[in-house]
Amino acid sequence: MLNTIQDRQSRTRRPSRAVRTTGSLVAALGLAALLSGCQRSDQTLFLGDMASGYNREVFFMSLWAIALSVIIFVGVSAALFYTVQKFREDKNPNAPQQFHGNNRLETLLVAVPVVIVILLSVLTVRSMARLNPVPAGTPKIDILGKQFWWNFAYPATTADAGGVVTNGNEMVMPAGRLVTLNVTSGDVVHGFWAPNIGGQRAAIPSVVRTWNVDTDRPGVYQGNCSQLCGASHANMRYKVIALSQERYDAFLAAAKAYRAPAPAAGSAEERGYNLFVNGKPETGALACAACHRVQGTPAAGAAGPDLSFFGTRRTLGAGMWEGDKARDMLEPWIKNSPEVKPGSLMPTYDGSEYTVSGKKQKGGVLTDDEIGDIAAYLRSLRLPDDADYWRDTPVIKNISAPGGQQ
């Protein structure tokens, strides 16, 4: 196999060094351009964030495991070194004495590892007993992972307009207390991983996994999908926004009471609303409402993220773009989302082809003005200012670096 490959390579003429250097330079520049094309988050995932009780427990547990490993390593190395030195062949011409049948030594060699395993088991079970129980009255968030976005539902909070309060790709939770997460998947296996607030769990279709997370520090944290799940696995991100209990309560109360504002007659928002709810059948443009929900309107689709408070969000495309870039990308996103996010299941609105369940389909057509109207409508879907979870919430960038917390 190796030979055939080498043969084949030697048969093809190797390009000159200059051509090769230029080739790799172009490849590197191409890669750089590709990477800069998608916005990288400047927030760092950090396992060792001691603001989380979950992380503190796991950290002290791992100190034990590391300490025992060091003892084993030093002990075994010392025994090996001693034996190799003492029983060198040049100093010991005869076969060394065998210890088969030495009951005391054999018992000791079995007992030491058994004690270490028991010690680690007891420590593990103790940590599990501390982390796993769900105390009564813990706020619960139901998480649904789908290709390639996340939905966060607050099962205890029924919206006044009907249905449970949900938010897409931005998970709001209270700081300073345990929060119980129930994660599942709507298609393939995903991984929920926001290390600053606690451990990761696989999101598995038809299985609900429950665990507790927490952080003492209010702030915006980064979360990523941690299980390879398709073309936009790397673009399946989210934010975790931990708020003081008071602000969390304000968010939940406003989300519960939320009804999308009725757009003014003749406004861009009104035209956008009509397109959102009805689509444009004469050009084949599908209604956004078929897949998205907006609380307090007839839009009740569940195939895509909930857009009830879209205007409050500061990320777009499941955390693919943030801040100003998210604002700038909204129209291109509506127009042809599979083009800007590989594997996106949203229909196109510029007439180009897109794929649904492996079948190619042609998108309907909206004009740039109509897409602008939909964008204007979406931006108008805002929570009241005192419930805006982004406002004045510090973005936690990299707590492992000095001064990294912003």
Nearest CA to 330 out of 275, 363, 379, 397 is that of: 379
In sequence order, what E strands does 77-178 have?
A: 140-146, 149-158, 164-168, 170-174
Pick the closer one to ligand CUA by CB: 204 or 300: 204
Chain centroid to Cα 188, Å, comes to: 14
- Closest contact distance (angstroms) between CB of 225 and ligand CUA is 3
Rounded to whole angstroms, how far apart are CA atoms 150 and 232? 13
- Closest contact distance (angstroms) between CB of 151 and ligand CUA is 13
Chain centroid to Cα 197, Å, comes to: 12
Cα four-point dihedral sign 73, 76, 79, 81: negative
Pick the closer one to ligand CUA by CB: 145 or 223: 145
Pick the closer one to ligand CUA by CB: 165 or 229: 229
Residues 6+ apart with CB under 8 A from 302: 291, 293
Piece of 71-79, 224-232, 253-261, 279-287 that binds ligand CUA (CB under 6 A): 224-232
285 close to 365: Cβ distance less than 8 angstroms: yes
CA distances from 229 to 8, 92, 195, 337, 357 (A): 35, 60, 19, 18, 15
Among 141, 236, 252, 346, which residue interacts with ligand CUA (rule: CB under 6 A)? 236
The tokens describing 291, both together, are 């897949």
The reply on whether position 144 binds ligand CUA by CB under 6 A is: no
Pick the closer one to ligand CUA by CB: 123 or 204: 204
- Closest contact distance (angstroms) between CB of 210 and ligand CUA is 19
Piece of 38-46, 176-184, 225-233, 362-370 that binds ligand CUA (CB under 6 A): 225-233
- Closest contact distance (angstroms) between CB of 234 and ligand CUA is 8
- Closest contact distance (angstroms) between CB of 228 and ligand CUA is 6
The reply on whether position 233 binds ligand CUA by CB under 6 A is: yes
Nearest CA to 287 out of 306, 273, 269 is that of: 273
The tokens describing 138, both together, are 């813990």
- Closest contact distance (angstroms) between CB of 152 and ligand CUA is 15
The tokens describing 106, both together, are 């054999």
Pick the closer one to ligand CUA by CB: 230 or 372: 230
Rounded to whole angstroms, how far apart are CA atoms 247 and 240? 14
Angle (deg, nearest 10), helices 103-131 and 53-86: 170
Burial (0-12, 13-18, 19+ Cβ within 10 Å), 301: middle
Chain centroid to Cα 316, Å, comes to: 14
Residues in contact with ligand CUA, counted by CB under 6 A, come to a total of 9
- Closest contact distance (angstroms) between CB of 184 and ligand CUA is 13
Piece of 120-128, 228-236, 303-311, 349-357 that binds ligand CUA (CB under 6 A): 228-236
Pick the closer one to ligand CUA by CB: 224 or 348: 224
> By rule CB under 6 A, what string of x and - marks binding of each residue 182-211 to ligand CUA?
--------x---------------------
Piece of 22-30, 64-72, 222-230, 343-351 that binds ligand CUA (CB under 6 A): 222-230
- Closest contact distance (angstroms) between CB of 359 and ligand CUA is 22
Among 51, 143, 172, 225, which residue interacts with ligand CUA (rule: CB under 6 A)? 225
Phi and psi torsions of 393, nearest 5°: -85, 125
Pure H helices in 176-322: 245-257, 268-278
- Closest contact distance (angstroms) between CB of 185 and ligand CUA is 8
The reply on whether position 227 binds ligand CUA by CB under 6 A is: yes
User: Interface with ligand CUA by CB under 6 A: which residues?
Assistant: 145, 148, 190, 225, 227-229, 233, 236
